Amino acid sequence: MKSVEIAQKISPKQILVVDDEPEVANAIRMVLDGGVYKIETAKDGEEGRAKFEPGKYDLVITDFKMPNMDGLELAAAIKERSPDQTILMITAYVEAVKEDAKGLSKIDFLIEKPFSLQRLQEVLTKVFSTA
């Protein structure tokens, strides 16, 4: 069987992207969409929490600073419902996230904004090689 045929039989990884900046969420969607990943977006932590269902997503990518519910609060709410859910936080406030040890324990990967496509791909490779 050819590798293309094998790839077509593997279902795409489901990713929820939560970011209050539509251009960031759309950029991540454009980079990742296209067969290997199926992307759904949410405009803030509240909407992300509402869309989240245990077992539905292979990965949740969230921003830290958002109105209504920040990324650490979202991560805590998700981990409460689904302790094994993988969460990647992308933020310009890495130091603030690292200062919150309890919150930091709820995320699995942390990337600093601005980030490169290469860095995002490196983390996705780690996420999905252990999944």
Strand boundaries in the chain, DSSP class E: 13-18, 37-42, 59-62, 87-91, 109-112
pLDDT in tens, 19-50: 999 988 888 888 887 678 899 999 999 999 99
pLDDT in tens, 69-84: 999 999 999 999 999 9
- Does this model's pTM top 0.75? My answer is yes
When pLDDT is averaged across residues 62-73 and rounded to a whole number, the result is 94
Residue 125 CB-half CA count within 13 A: 6
Domains and CATH numbers, the chain: 3-130 (3.40.50.2300)
